[in-house]
Amino acid sequence: MRRFFLISAPYIWLLALFLVPFVIVLKISLSDTALAIPPYNPTLDLTQGWAGFKDFLSKLDFENFVWLTQDDLYWKAYLSSLKIAALSTVLTLMVGYPIAYGMAQAPDEWRPTLMMLVILPFWTSFLIRVYSWMGILGNEGLLNQLLLWLGVISEPLHIMNTPTAVYIGIVYTYLPFMILPIYAALEKLDSSLLEAAEDLGCSRLSAFWLVTIPLSKNGIIAGCFLVFIPALGEFVIPSLLGGSGTLMIGKVLWEEFFSNRDWPVASAVAVVLLLILIIPIILFQRNEQKAREADQ
């Protein structure tokens, strides 16, 4: 019984916080829009029992999902989100890997301090951190003032409400998610392997590419998934830093729910987004399982 309760706890958690909400969203996505509260007519009425379910099957259609393929706004938003999430992941990896490598090479007494500095931004509200970038990247922001004072530029750079600001915000926000798994992989790296590679004729750079990078592969993969998955559905950063010119599926989803009040179409958008996210989630789980098996 103890084993049963121990195993059932995470499944109950997933059932209550994932499966049940997903079923509700899926039900709404198969409904019709209506001028009511809530703004849809449910096609599935469970209060009628089997009769209600048979009536639902007879009326079942995927009109809202078909609409997503007919309006180019949605598939453009999906493609734009995939592009921004993928490029942001690459940029985060380029910034995060050197930091994680430097932390792993630092003396043992400095590592807890460096770890705390990486985690420190989480002690501040996410919204406050994003709003702070609005003050930094604005035309009268700290960045432009510094560059003008140094004489690097003659007029303020227009960074706010551009894709560049979105990339900066995503990289900054999700950088710890990239650093921590890579640091965990690099910390366990046996330095004698690098010494052996150098003894066999490899330069330090060659040893880095042939030994360090392959042995930190699991950390790189985990970090990339941890950045890509939430960045794909990001809403706050493109809304505050990207402005109206940035098209991401998270913004489209919010507008359909709260501005257009078209809950069925918004639910269909959410279902498709979740189906897209299932692929990297499954790949991430398989990578974690292979890493655990390799450690055993």
User: Quick check: 178 and 224 in contact, CB under 8 A?
Assistant: yes
Residue 68's pLDDT is 87
How many angstroms separate the Cα of 96 from the Cα of each of 100, 171, 196? Answer: 6, 9, 27
pLDDT greater than 90 at residue 31? no
Rounded-to-integer distance, Cα 185 and Cα 100, Å: 9
Judgement on whether residues 265 and 173 belong to the same structural domain of the protein: yes
pLDDT greater than 90 at residue 82? yes
Residue 265, both tokens: 């179409």
Task: Tally the C-alpha atoms within 13 A of residue 199's C-alpha that lie toward its C-beta.
Answer: 6
Residue 25's pLDDT is 86
| CB contact set of 107 (below 8 Å; sequence gap of 6+) | none
How many C-beta neighbours within 10 Å does residue 93 have?
Answer: 19
pLDDT greater than 80 at residue 208? yes
Judgement on whether residues 185 and 276 belong to the same structural domain of the protein: yes
> In this structure, is residue 16 part of a structural domain?
no
**Model confidence at 178, in pLDDT bands (50, 70, 90)?**
very high
Mean pLDDT is highest, among 23-37, 78-92, 141-155, 264-278, for 78-92
How many C-beta neighbours within 10 Å does residue 166 have?
Answer: 25
DSSP 162: S
Over range 30-49, report the average pLDDT.
71
| CB contact set of 99 (below 8 Å; sequence gap of 6+) | 118, 175, 179
Over range 230-242, report the average pLDDT.
90
Rounded-to-integer distance, Cα 72 and Cα 145, Å: 40
Residue 46's pLDDT is 61
Judgement on whether residues 102 and 245 belong to the same structural domain of the protein: yes
User: Quick check: 95 and 130 in contact, CB under 8 A?
Assistant: no
User: Quick check: 254 and 214 in contact, CB under 8 A?
Assistant: no
Question: What residue numbers bound the domain in which 38 lies?
Answer: 23-61
How many C-beta neighbours within 10 Å does residue 226 have?
Answer: 19
Judgement on whether residues 281 and 221 belong to the same structural domain of the protein: yes
Residue 168's pLDDT is 94
| CB contact set of 77 (below 8 Å; sequence gap of 6+) | 247, 248, 249, 251, 252
Between 50 and 67, the higher pLDDT residue: 67
Judgement on whether residues 78 and 130 belong to the same structural domain of the protein: yes
Rounded-to-integer distance, Cα 270 and Cα 247, Å: 16
Over range 247-266, report the average pLDDT.
87
Rounded-to-integer distance, Cα 273 and Cα 259, Å: 19
How many C-beta neighbours within 10 Å does residue 176 have?
Answer: 23
Q: How many residues does the chain have?
A: 296
Write the pLDDT tens digit of every residue in 105-161: 898 889 889 999 999 888 888 889 999 999 999 888 889 899 999 888 888 888 898
Over range 12-38, report the average pLDDT.
81
Judgement on whether residues 169 and 287 belong to the same structural domain of the protein: yes
Residue 89's pLDDT is 96
Judgement on whether residues 226 and 89 belong to the same structural domain of the protein: yes
Judgement on whether residues 125 and 199 belong to the same structural domain of the protein: yes
Judgement on whether residues 39 and 94 belong to the same structural domain of the protein: no
| Beta-bridge partner residues of 41 | 32
User: Quick check: 260 and 89 in contact, CB under 8 A?
Assistant: no
Strands in the chain per DSSP E: 32-33, 40-41
User: Quick check: 291 and 112 in contact, CB under 8 A?
Assistant: no
What's the predicted TM-score (pTM) here?
A: 0.85
Judgement on whether residues 91 and 188 belong to the same structural domain of the protein: yes
Residue 103's pLDDT is 93
Judgement on whether residues 80 and 34 belong to the same structural domain of the protein: no
Number of domains the chain is built from: 2
pLDDT greater than 90 at residue 220? yes
Over range 206-229, report the average pLDDT.
89
**Model confidence at 24, in pLDDT bands (50, 70, 90)?**
confident
Judgement on whether residues 44 and 115 belong to the same structural domain of the protein: no
